[in-house]
Amino acid sequence: MSSKILSNFYRCTVESILTSSITVWYGNCTAQDRKALQRVVKTAQHISGAAFHSLQDIYSTRVTRRAHNIIKDSTHPQHRLFTLLPSGGRYQSLRSRTTRMTNSFYPQAIRLVNSSLIKTPPPFIPELIYTSPPPLLLPPPN
């Protein structure tokens, strides 16, 4: 079979199964589980002769995209977890007592968004435009 058909099969079938709800379960996977899953990706690369994204890259991309969607949607139930620090440049990290909580979606999402903010300017947030009321416009003196 051609390399294109094999890579399409991988992306449509295998990658779809591997990354199903990846934002939920990947953060708490053990290193052994991640290695086994990455072995599937490497085997598919070897068979098809094409390069595929690692599961870590897919996870980071999807978590960051989902976090930005939550930040933009003020009606989302967990929007309040993404609070800006007083400087306005980064989001406040969530406190957690257990590693399970530390590796769950929201703390991971905040860390990934904060690390991406270092490289790129902060996202446009309408509430930050006017920190004080706009000045009153007085009519010109006669």
In a domain, 36, yes or no: yes
Kindly report, residue by residue over 40-67, the tens digit of the pLDDT.
Answer: 999 999 998 888 899 999 999 999 999 9
Q: Domain of residue 70: give its range.
A: 3-121
3-state secondary structure of 104: coil
pLDDT at 118: 63
Total-model pTM: 0.74
Q: Are 103 and 28 in contact (CB under 8 A)?
A: yes
The pLDDT-based confidence of 129 (bands split at 50, 70, 90) is very low
In a domain, 39, yes or no: yes
In a domain, 42, yes or no: yes
Kindly report, residue by residue over 6-24, the tens digit of the pLDDT.
Answer: 888 888 899 899 888 898 8
Overall domain count for the chain:
1
In a domain, 13, yes or no: yes
In a domain, 78, yes or no: yes
d(CA 106, CA 23): 10
d(CA 6, CA 8): 5
d(CA 123, CA 136): 28
Strand partners, 11: none
